[in-house]
Amino acid sequence: MKNINPTTTKAWKELESHFKEIENEHMKDMFINDDNRAEKFSIQWEDFYVDYSKNRITEDTRSLLLKLAEECNLEEAINSYFSGEAINQTENRPVLHTALRADKNTKINVRGENVLPEVEEVKAKIRDFSNEIIDGTRKGYTGKNFTDVVNIGIGGSDLGPVMVTESLKFYKNHLNMHFISNVDGDHVHETIKDLNPETTLFLVVSKTFTTMETLSNATTVREWFLKSVPEEEVSKHFVAVSTNLQKVESFGIDRNNIFPMWDWVGGRFSLWSAVGLSICLAIGYDNFASLLDGAHKMDEHFRKTSFKENLPVQLALLSIWYNNFFKAESEAVIPYSQYLDKFPSYLQQAIMESNGKSVDRNGKRVDYETGTIIWGEPGTNSQHAFFQLIHQGTKLIPADFIGFKKSLFEDKAHQDKLMANYFAQTEALLNGKNEEEVEEELKFKNFTRDEIDRLKPFKVFEGNKPTNTILIDKLTPESMGKLIALYEHKIFVQGVIWNIFSYDQWGVELGKQLANKILAEFDDRDVNNHDSSTRALLNYYLK
Ligand code: F6P
């Protein structure tokens, strides 16, 4: 991939002057002046309808952003990404979560060898294992069927599985799913306190098998299990997902119970691999395969569609527009589906661990903004929590509104109310409410002249707040796969344009090392080093 500082491109310079021309324009006027605006700035693809017309853009903005993508060699970068080049250069690895959902007849070489046969082999193992657990062929050590599954992992080994399992709960079978991630002992003990070791299956999921949280939780669970079960039965109840087969075996998990993964799958993009075993156990292999299939369809769309009609490319460019020109610091993701409750926190890792970088691909400090801060909660709950700040606060917060045309339980009355809110909010964010409208409203309610003058400033909404409306037919495993892959590719595009490496996470690695160092010092019961604040806190804790 070429290393191009985006701010040195012609398009960037043109965007800067274009920004000055349109920064104060109101979207309301853009709609008044163009009857076809919605049509011009929307993309309908398969079961997705994405309207991005409620953005502070004109056709010129879009052309310049597309020019920026071209000047930053996005097309070439996409080819490098999908073909397995080692684009994660600081770890010398390809980035191939897309291979996990590719057509099995394609050839994708890593270090000279086609990885697809191996991917298919692991998929078959996932399928057979989950089928046997679900249908009861594989039983616990006393011959009883499994009733509960516990996923022990953190970061990408937890967030993807827990988010998808929650999102697709409607499609779930009888197995009760639990997720232990935090090293907080209260998390693990609270989870296992009511579990029956005879009927519980434990999945220890760690790409590296060195993560403190996961190994501590797995050890605690194993000790709890061994209190009532003979050691030789461990193999019936513990399986692992990892690249580190040796470490898994020395932990005491049977070689046959290991589901391998590969260093070319990043932790935060690994739910498509055996890391998604809990997903497959919860919803069955056919649904898991549909999830992968949906993601593959988005991969094909991303690879093969012109940038103008390309969903991940357009969403990434809009985000750059706000981040780098309007200097917006954060973006909100608001799913209008309670099932997608965990989607914003999943995206926080995917987006912020990937693009939270301040050094470019040449190893130089960047002199422009990179990764956006991501946050969000489902609508309508979030409307009654933080929407006030989006509507009337001082910060510009572009937001993605994700909704579904059909609800799963088909309760039309509820669905209509939910969707009325979904549409009303983006419309309100666009239009706001001006002084005349406030005046009219208060007059209608018989307020006095004095009261109207006093209240007016507080009741005015500027509007002009950008939103993308992502409207999907129905929440299914396939549409969920498409939605996740949409954001994965948005991350990629932004990383390419910002000229950063999106697939390492050295900042998090540092945190892991420092915690281990402090943990070792606890044995001394008297800490003498560190800065005075940390030292005082440590000693206060230890006494
Ligand atoms: O949070 C840092 C990180 O390295 C993530 O990228 C990863 O998903 C997580 O830790 C867990 O790592 P592992 O799967 O190796 O236990």
Q: Provide mean pLDDT across the span 319-336.
A: 98
Looking at the CA of residue 205, tell me the nearest atom of ligand 1.
Answer: 14
Token pair belonging to 265: 């799958």
Contact between 300 and 343 under an 8 Å Cβ cutoff? The reply is: no
pLDDT at residue 525 is higher than 80: no
How far does the centroid of ligand 1 lie from the alpha carbon of residue 410, in Å? 38
* pLDDT on residue 446: 97
Average pLDDT, the chain: 97
How far does the centroid of ligand 1 lie from the alpha carbon of residue 155, in Å? 5
**Which residues does ligand 1 sit against, CB inside 6 Å?**
154-157, 206-208, 211, 214, 267-268, 353, 505, 508
pLDDT at residue 513 is higher than 90: no
- Sorting pLDDT into bands at 50, 70 and 90, what band is 1? confident
* pLDDT on residue 315: 98
How far does the centroid of ligand 1 lie from the alpha carbon of residue 79, in Å? 27
- Sorting pLDDT into bands at 50, 70 and 90, what band is 515? confident
How far does the centroid of ligand 1 lie from the alpha carbon of residue 18, in Å? 41
String of b and e for 350-370 (b: at least 16 CB within 10 Å)? Answer: bbbbbbbbeebbeeeebeeeb
Q: Provide mean pLDDT across the span 159-169.
A: 98
* pLDDT on residue 379: 96
Amino acid (1-letter code) at residue 228:
S
Looking at the CA of residue 213, tell me the nearest atom of ligand 1.
Answer: 16
Give catalytic residue positions. 353, 384, 512
Contact between 489 and 312 under an 8 Å Cβ cutoff? The reply is: yes
* pLDDT on residue 516: 86
Bridge-partner residues for 272, per DSSP? none
Residue nearest to atom 2 of ligand 1 (CA): 508
Rama region for 143: left / alpha / beta (φ>0; ψ in -120 to 50; rest): left
What's the pLDDT tens digit per position in 181-223?
A: 999 999 999 999 999 999 999 999 999 999 999 999 999 999 9
What's the pLDDT tens digit per position in 345-395?
A: 999 999 999 999 999 999 999 999 999 999 999 999 999 999 999 999 999
Residue nearest to atom 6 of ligand 1 (CA): 267
pTM above 0.90, yes or no: yes
- Sorting pLDDT into bands at 50, 70 and 90, what band is 514? confident
Contact between 334 and 378 under an 8 Å Cβ cutoff? The reply is: yes
Laid out side by side, the sheet with 258-260 consists of 176-180, 148-152, 200-205, 238-242, 258-260
- For a pocket test of ligand 1, which of 158, 211, 251, 273 has the largest count of ligand atoms closer than 8 A to its C-beta? 211
Looking at the CA of residue 214, tell me the nearest atom of ligand 1.
Answer: 16
How far does the centroid of ligand 1 lie from the alpha carbon of residue 205, in Å? 10
What is the distance between the alpha carbons of residues 136 and 133, in angstroms, rounded to a whole number?
5
What's the pLDDT tens digit per position in 431-489?
A: 999 999 999 999 999 999 999 999 999 999 999 999 999 999 999 999 999 999 999 99
- For a pocket test of ligand 1, which of 159, 207, 357 has the largest count of ligand atoms closer than 8 A to its C-beta? 207
